[in-house]
Structure formats: structure tokens, C-alpha cells
Structure 1
Amino acid sequence: MTNSITSSHYIKSLAFDYVETHSLQRGDEYEAAIQVLKPELYNLKVRKEKRNNLTDTEEIRLNELDALLSVTQYLIDDTGRFHFSSQRTNTFQYGNEAISLLKNILLTKTTDVSNWMCAPIYRDAIVFYKSSGEIVSALNICLSCEVMAIGSSCQVVADCSTYEMLRKFFKDIGHPVES
């Protein structure tokens, strides 16, 4: 079951000292890695289904690849590891004007919500930190589907206009964004 919270409730509930923006699941290096990993996953799956003769190491690798390629990917997985393709693009301290802008974007009143029927591909994320370096929250964003999530169990619902403002925000800070 998935819970949900509005973007304004989400940002109001966070106590943080700085944020990082991250880009993931994009670029030539990522595409090259996927071209290697998908056949490896396929071959291990076929061997398991047909002969069921995987070694313990191969079974572990199958599970790793399955988790990495077969489901919606988030910036940070259940074990606390960042996605292999993630790249930090910016860091902003709490008083920075970029943080004020981001907060205002997320505080946009939610009145018109998109309901695309596609599976989100989270290529953009914002990580909120305490000064100690402890992660407070990670907001995964799919600008194509206009969906945000804190993880697999909680969606962040936002107004349609929020996503256009987030796209502009990311572009303005030099973060790569698809058209």
C-alpha cells in the first residue's frame, strides 16, 4: 500500500540544513552500463528457470541485478546505497536563495494533479540533510510522468504547475533535464 502526502505538507515537515540535487538514470555511461547489465540479468534468469543450477554467488548477482533493473529505481535503495548512476549536481546550504525558491515551488497549492498512466523513471532527486550529514529525506522526481516519491511506500502529490517550476529550477542551476 502506498501512502501519499502533498508537496506542501512534505516540505513543511522537513527540518534540514542543506540539500543536494542528483541526476540519475541518464547519460551515455548509464546507457552503456544498462547494455551490459540487461543481458547478464537475462542469461542468469534463463539459467535459473531452465536448469536451476546457479551458484550461490550467481544467485546473489541475479538478485542484485533484478533489484537494479526490474523495478522502479529510486535514488537511494532499501540498504541506503545511492543508485549506481547517480551524480550529485549541486549542494545548497539552508539560507541559500535556491532553497527558498525550492521551498516555494513545493509549497504551491495542489489543485490540479496529473494522472499519467506511465511508470515513473526517476531521473532527478533532491536529498535533504542535517548538518551532521545524516539524510533527512530523499525526494525522487519524474518530470515526464509528473510524479514524486519519497520511496516505494510514499508518493508526494503536487500540482501540475509544480513540475514545470521544478524543471525550470533544475535547468537554472545547471542540472541536466530532458526536454
Structure 2
Amino acid sequence: MKNLIKYIKSLDFEYAISYSGLRGEKFTKLEEENKKKINRLEKEIESSRLTEKSELTEEIEDLKKEVDIYNSRIITNKGISHKSTLQIHKFRKDDKEIHEIFEILNSKFEEQHFWMCPPIFRDAIVFYSEDGEIKGILQMCFSCSWIKNENEEDFQVDYKIFPRLMNLLIQLGHNIENE
């Protein structure tokens, strides 16, 4: 596990944007649309030729992956957003809110709990250079108190910071329900 404080200190960014996704009306609509498409494709498979079955099966798997909350990311390290991703708040490097977030994340480490649930990363803060290049990503799961970076590396984080971080992100516009 990586050290979050060292990661934050290593970030060289000009602005950051917080994102939310894999929840809400946009995600529910995507799930419904994909389910309909999957049902249609499964019926097509029944009457298709062998060469077509492989392509249709692959298309079904892609649709399933798109709504797989455990393996999806609301934004990738290449800057590709999930279809359900919403931009919530933009921070300048010297904004009070980004300093509050860093203060929370830099809180004294007391203990880490490992929940048995798999994390669902529905919230993220992405750090950008002046020309829009991604310099870092913090992906957060508030259900199991977990943070990963853009390289899928886990951070050792005191679970007690999550209620404070969640409250601050809610104040900024994130729609975090009790997950």
C-alpha cells in the first residue's frame, strides 16, 4: 500500500476537478438501456450464424462491463469518463476547498479497517496540469473507506477521515448517499 501523504506532496497540478458517477439517474438509465440491448442481442444469437455469434457475445460482454460497478471507473488515467460521470466541482490549486481536502487526507493516521465489501469508486478528484494533462487521480469508495490512485494502487488511509471528506464533497455538490 502506498502512502497518501507522499502521493499528495508529489502532485504537481494547476487545477483539480471532482467527479461523481456510477450512481443516480444517468447510471440507472444506462443500466436499463444496456439490459434491453443485451436481451435483443441474446435473441439475435439464437438465429445467427456461427461467425456472428462470437461478435454478438462480445458485444453483450462489453455492455455488461459498462455497468459493472465493481470494475468500472468514473474516469480513467487516460481521461476517459464513464457514461454516467458528472463533473461536480472545479478547484484552482490555491482554492480553500482543495486545501481542506488535503488537510483531511493528511490527517494523522490512527488505524485502518478492511471491510469485506468490494470497493465501488463512485467519486474521484482528478488533478490536471495547466494544459489539461492528468497528473493524478484519487478514486474514493465511501462504503468501504478505500482510496486508489490512477494506477490502481491502494492507499493506506485512516477510515475516520471518510465522514469528514464525504461531508465536504457533499457541500461541494456530490450526491453521496449512505452507500
Q: Same fold (TM over 0.5)?
A: yes
Distance of 2:52 and 2:79 partners within structure 1: 27
Q: CA deviation at 1:21?
A: 0.6
Is this contact kept in 2: 1:118–1:145, CA < 8 A?
yes
Q: Are 1:175 and 2:170 matched, yes or no?
A: no
- Map 1:62-77; keep pairs closer than 5 Å: 62-70=60-68, 71-77=70-76
How large is the RMSD of aligned CA atoms in angstroms?
A: 2.7
Q: CA deviation at 1:18?
A: 0.7
Q: Are 1:131 and 2:130 matched, yes or no?
A: yes
Unaligned runs of 5+ in 2: none
SS at match of 2:154: strand
Q: Hey, which bits of structure 1, 4+ residues long, moved more than 6 A?
A: none
SS at match of 1:98: helix
Classify 1:63/1:11 alpha carbon distance in 2 versus 1 (closer, same or farther; 3 Å): same
Q: Are 1:12 and 2:15 matched, yes or no?
A: no
Unaligned runs of 5+ in 1: none
Q: Pick the aligned partner of 2:30 from 7, 29, 33.
A: 33
Q: TM-score, normalised by structure 2?
A: 0.83
Counting matched residue pairs gives 175
Residues 137-178 of structure 1: per-residue CA shift (max 9 Å, x gap): 111111011111124631122111221111111022122111
The AA in structure 2 aligned to 1:145 is C
